[in-house]
A = this chain, B = another copy of it.
């Protein structure tokens, strides 16, 4: 069974997600299935899209295609790319969404060649998700080789990402938990693992706890989250609200 995992900043109010799925169906194998990752990435928020892609792709089965469309430069000269790494495929704009793949030893990248005439009566240059990326993702799902989709390219075509602080908030979830980029198995992560109280926005954050239930009501705590990185929560409430935290907040770590 072929799987296309699909994330975007299209939201769920417009018919755009469905139009991409219809294009996948039009160009893909009969048994193609689509898994929505999220379509609520803020409009044009490439950094948020990059985080979603980095979190989800290691959970995809071998052979799956990750179609990611957060594409404020649609119609410009930004490259359109497909890539293969770690047994999965990737399709989207080369604007930094897939920059995390650059470290993968088996990375292959092509620059997509625009082959499809868009739907006859719907010609346009603003919907590459439907008209360019979906046909490419569908072909990969059907087993067509990566090299047939375009011209060989380097990892640089995936685009750049700004440097990140060692411990910064990269996502705030529905529960108001702050998800950071600090990996449990990094050197800094291992130093923290024995226990440390962090100061965030002037308030102490105790950790690591093993489960939310180990926190007192209203207490701020940190723990190793379900993505393998450090998270900060407030028991039974929103840490983001209490700390007025936003994505990008840098958290100071104790001096080693």
Interface residues of A (CB under 8 A from B): 1, 3, 5, 7, 9-19, 21-22, 25-26, 30, 35-40, 43-44, 52, 55-56, 58-61, 72-77, 118-119, 121-127, 130-131, 171, 173-175, 184-185, 210-214, 223-228, 231, 236
Contacts and interface: CB of A to CB of B under 8 A. Distances in A.
A122 B228 contact: yes
A136 to B, nearest CB: 17
B126 A212 contact: yes
A35 B13 contact: no
A37 B56 contact: no
A69 to B, nearest CB: 13
A210 to B, nearest CB: 6
Contacts of A61: 22, 25-26
Contact of A185 (B15, B19, B121): B121
* Chain A at the B interface: SS class: loop
| A7, A30, A38: residue with the most chain B Cβ atoms closer than 10 Å | A38
Closest 9 CB pairs of A and B: A75-B211, A76-B213, A127-B226, A13-B40, A11-B174, A124-B226, A18-B37, A125-B211, A14-B173
17 contacts: A10-B174, A12-B39, A14-B38, A14-B171, A15-B56, A17-B36, A18-B36, A22-B35, A58-B119, A74-B211, A74-B212, A75-B211, A77-B213, A122-B226, A124-B223, A124-B225, A127-B225
Nearest to A213: B76
A182 to B, nearest CB: 14
B125 A15 contact: no
A8 to B, nearest CB: 10
A38 B58 contact: no
A43 B174 contact: yes
B223 A123 contact: no
Nearest to A56: B15
